[in-house]
Amino acid sequence: MPDYETVLLRNVGVEGSRTIDVYRSRGGYRGVEKALKQMADDEVVEEVKRANLRGRGGAGFPAGVKWGFLPKDRERTLLCVNADESEPPTFCNRVLMEHDPHQVIEGIIIAGFATRAQVAYVYMRVEFHEQFHIMQVAIDEAYAAGLLGKNILGSGYDLEVYVHRGAGAYVCGEETALIESIEGKRGCPRIKPPFPAIEGLFRRPTVVNNIETLANLPHIIERGADWFLGIGTANSAGPKLFCVCGPVNRPGCYEAPMTITCEELIMGDRFGQGMSGNASVQAVFPGGTSMGVLKADEVHMKMDFDDPRNFGLLGLGTAAAVVVGDKTDMRDVLRNMARFYALESCGQCTQCREGTNWMYRIASRIASGAGRIEDLDLLEEVAGRMGMMPGLSICGLPDGATFPVRGIVRKFRSELEEHIRGQEPAGAERVLSVLN
């Protein structure tokens, strides 16, 4: 990959990067000053639309378009910042909050100004203990500097920011479940419509954006949409954070344009630096676990918003690559994936509540050495009868639950069948005990 100027992670490793003084000394808050002093709110929206900033939280929906759904005659707007980051094994938002919290706050201020929001809630999962305190200290610094509160930088714009800690439910990464949780209710997705832009938090027009999405805003406003579009491709523009974990030599969070391939993310000298020990790649879940799986001969896939669908994936997701080595039994991977989503289903939709549980039980039967060839067909059948895409659920959790299961069954069927045929005859006697 050619030389790339680090943007989102430029302050990582800089001494004192969490403080407002260091952030400002390195050009921080210039985007806010330009937006509040030189631009109208609708001009900021149009610049973000022109940049085609697509959401970094998983769905990839254009941020500026989402802002445009807000009613023109609204009296009060609320901004929800999604810092839940519950998709395994995603940790790019955590890195931004840990090392550069003022970049996040600057993005919040710009988004709040553009959407005319008076209050912003940073929704953070409860496991982020250190990150909570880092963000709160940075917010206090911003208030003391006149960057939050009343009449920010003398512009007449007011914004209050609060950190709200959730209870750690995977489904609260979905925007309406996040809203329910902030309101003090159980984190369950809402039936839509109405959509949050019309009636969201406290029944007010609401915008929900992800941490990494907002961190791009200061750079778009300061450098312009043309600069942003010059990175990557028109439909997958701008800097992007990628995570990589598993048996690689250098797991971590890295920044690159979305022209990077999954193979380069794993093997590149600037990134994962190849497989550790004598391992080789057997499979990769390139967008977090919920987007589906690649076989070893598919890792040339581009990590952008378009190419993953050419490989049978749900999408790019959070761009967090889970690498599975060749010594790992894919039956265990199948069971682990199914177990996670069975535990995280909120239970509102029957097909999700029951379907994820049945997928887990069938996957457990296969992993225990008591599987049947017809179980593979049964897994595909159950997976095909749940999710928003067939039009059967309130949220996308069952889609995220079924894509890794279907992907493993379809792409590793020969390996699974080989294991099943090689089982001990006594294994069938364990079927009932596994199911019960």
Model confidence over 149-205: pLDDT tens digits?
A: 999 999 999 999 999 999 879 999 999 999 999 999 999 999 999 999 999 999 999
What is the pLDDT confidence band of residue 410, given thresholds at 50, 70 and 90?
very high
Q: 10 Å Cβ neighbour count for 61?
A: 12
pLDDT of residue 391: 78
* Domain boundaries 330-435, corresponding CATH code: 1.20.1440.230
Q: Do domains 239-325 and 330-435 have the same CATH topology?
A: no
3-state secondary structure 333-367: HHHHHHHHHHHHCCCCCHHHHHHHHHHHHHHHHHH
Q: What are the pLDDT digits (tens) for 69-81?
A: 999 999 899 999 9
Report, as an integer, the average pLDDT of 124-142. Answer: 95
Q: What are the pLDDT digits (tens) for 200-249?
A: 999 999 999 999 999 999 999 999 999 999 999 999 999 999 999 999 99
- CB-based burial, 242-280: b 16+ in 10 Å, e otherwise: bbbbbbbeebebbbbbbbbbbbbbbbbeebbbbbeeebe
Q: What are the pLDDT digits (tens) for 36-56?
A: 999 999 999 999 999 999 999
The CATH classification of domain 239-325, taken from the options 3.10.20.600, 3.40.50.720, 3.30.465.10, 3.40.1000.10: 3.10.20.600
Query: Are the C-beta atoms of 106 and 28 separated by less than 8 Å?
Result: yes
pTM for this structure?
A: 0.93
pLDDT of residue 167: 86
Mean pLDDT across the chain: 94
Is residue 31 over pLDDT 80? yes
Q: Among 139-143, 188-192, 373-377, 427-431, whose mean pLDDT is lowest?
A: 427-431
Is residue 431 over pLDDT 60? no
* Domain boundaries 20-229, corresponding CATH code: 3.40.50.11540
Q: What angle do CA 349, 335, 272 make, to 5 degrees?
A: 110
For residue 303, give every residue at least 6 positions away whose Cβ sits within 8 Å of its Cβ, in sequence order, or none. Answer: 240, 242, 256, 258, 260, 261, 262, 265, 286, 316, 319
Is residue 273 over pLDDT 60? yes
- Domain locations along the chain: 20-229, 239-325, 330-435
Q: What are the pLDDT digits (tens) for 80-121?
A: 999 999 998 899 999 999 999 999 999 999 999 999 999 999
pLDDT of residue 433: 55
Query: Are the C-beta atoms of 288 and 320 separated by less than 8 Å?
Result: yes
